[in-house]
């Protein structure tokens, strides 16, 4: 996270505002800052998205490749997360300063996606115990303005929604090895089911109150935060992972209040995200699939 120098008077002002349910930027404790989302922004990736959450700017690219299934899970595909903190995002990220935060973000996403109820890797399997699709989710933090966990999870889910996996038309067995034939039509592809992919919501404890979508200044006033990974399946909501950020500790009642605030916020975020992605695809889908050039 970006370190911001605040005086004791500024911290007191932020604390008193949170206690009155009126934050510095006019939001309540349950409100998010404005977001801008754009998909298919990287041409050489299988899927991509860029999310701007106030001053936080995230770029995600997804690449696909065929890999051998693991011996432990022969009927599952694979997904790997890699996070890079750009030195332009915050001065603290220069050199190897952002490595610890990058690993923390990648591990939190991996743990949230680990449950088969959250993301079923069996959909990425091509031939059991033979070959599968492997997804590389590369996340670049362009600017850090607070609440990185939420922004990264939203951008990653949008990029996976935009990901197009080439369709495997047939498979030939040669000396026990599978030889796959993949369609060369760029529009003949399959999509990833993202309905159950979790959303991360950061609930920040400031004083005795809890807020969602903390700004960089609010994060500086907090000793600890809880990141809640929330997924939805069969019209029911469940928590697939929790992660504590910061040097402080939480009482069990405070933790319960954080979960009570984070789960509804994740549901609203997921609904707004899916609505935005569907609207964008309906508006631009026909233009993207239109043949262009003299070979059409």
Assess contact for 216 and 189: CB atoms under 8 A. Answer: no
- 24-286 has CATH 1.10.1270.20 classification: no
H runs (alpha helix) in 114-224: 148-162, 216-220
Q: Distance between CA 226 and CA 236 in Å, rounded?
A: 22
Pairs from 111-117 (Cβ < 8 Å, separation ≥ 24): 111/229, 111/241, 111/243, 112/153, 112/198, 112/200, 112/229, 112/240, 112/241, 113/79, 113/197, 113/198, 113/240, 114/240, 114/241, 115/231, 115/240, 115/241, 117/196, 117/231, 117/233, 117/238, 117/240
Which residues pair with residue 203 across a beta bridge? 212, 226
Q: Distance between CA 86 and CA 94 in Å, rounded?
A: 8
The percent of residues above 90 in pLDDT, for the chain, comes to 56
Residues 6+ apart with CB under 8 A from 66: 126, 131, 132, 133, 134, 180
Q: Distance between CA 244 and CA 226 in Å, rounded?
A: 5
pLDDT at 272 over 90: yes
Q: Distance between CA 198 and CA 157 in Å, rounded?
A: 8
Other CB atoms closer than 10 Å to residue 285's CB: what's the count? 10
Compare 202 and 146 and report the one with higher pLDDT: 202
Compare 246 and 141 and report the one with higher pLDDT: 141
Residues 6+ apart with CB under 8 A from 81: 105, 106, 109, 110, 137, 139, 156
In sign, the C-alpha dihedral spanning 283, 285, 288, 289 is negative
H runs (alpha helix) in 96-215: 99-113, 148-162
pLDDT at 214 over 70: yes
Assess contact for 135 and 184: CB atoms under 8 A. Answer: no
Q: What pLDDT score was predicted for residue 232?
A: 85
pLDDT-derived band at 294 (thresholds 50, 70, 90) equals very low
Q: What pLDDT score was predicted for residue 17?
A: 93
142, two tokens: 């362009």
Q: What pLDDT score was predicted for residue 164?
A: 92
Q: Distance between CA 283 and CA 279 in Å, rounded?
A: 6
Mean pLDDT over 117-146 rounds to 91
Q: Distance between CA 246 and CA 11 in Å, rounded?
A: 17
Helical axes 148-162 vs 99-113, angle rounded to 10°: 60
Q: Distance between CA 189 and CA 148 in Å, rounded?
A: 31
Where is average pLDDT lowest: 14-23, 70-79, 112-121, 142-151? 112-121
pLDDT at 290 over 70: no
Q: What pLDDT score was predicted for residue 296?
A: 42
Q: For 145-201, what is each residue's pLDDT tens digit?
A: 889 999 999 999 999 999 999 888 766 666 666 677 787 777 788 899 888 899 999
**Average pLDDT value for the chain:** 88
């Amino acid at each position: 996270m970006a370190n911001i120098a605040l005086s004791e008077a500024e911290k007191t002002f932020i604390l008193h505002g949170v206690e009155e349910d009126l934050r510095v930027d006019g939001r309540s404790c349950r409100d998010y800052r404005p977001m801008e989302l754009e998909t298919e922004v990287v041409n050489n990736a299988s899927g991509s998205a860029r999310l701007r959450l106030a001053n936080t700017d995230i770029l995600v690219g997804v690449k696909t490749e065929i890999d051998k299934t693991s011996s432990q899970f022969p009927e599952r595909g694979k997904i790997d997360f890699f996070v890079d903190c750009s030195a332009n995002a915050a001065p603290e990220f220069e050199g190897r300063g952002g490595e610890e935060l990058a690993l923390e973000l990648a591990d939190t996403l991996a743990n949230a996606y680990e449950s088969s109820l959250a993301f079923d890797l069996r959909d990425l399997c091509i031939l059991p115990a033979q070959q599968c699709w492997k997804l590389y989710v590369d996340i670049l933090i362009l600017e850090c303005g607070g609440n990185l966990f939420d922004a990264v999870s939203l951008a990653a889910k949008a990029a996976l929604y935009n990901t197009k996996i080439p369709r495997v038309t047939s498979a030939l067995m040669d000396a026990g090895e599978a030889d796959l034939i993949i369609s060369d039509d760029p529009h003949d592809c399959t999509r990833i089911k993202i309905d159950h992919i979790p959303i991360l919501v950061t609930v920040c404890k400031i004083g005795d109150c809890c807020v969602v979508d903390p700004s960089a200044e609010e994060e500086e006033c907090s000793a600890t935060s809880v990141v809640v990974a929330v997924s939805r399946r069969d019209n029911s909501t469940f928590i697939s992972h929790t992660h504590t950020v910061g040097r402080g500790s939480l009482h069990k009642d405070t933790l319960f209040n954080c979960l009570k605030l984070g789960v509804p916020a994740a549901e609203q975020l997921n609904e707004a995200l899916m609505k935005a992605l569907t609207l964008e695809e309906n508006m631009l889908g026909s233009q993207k699939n239109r043949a262009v050039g003299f070979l059409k």
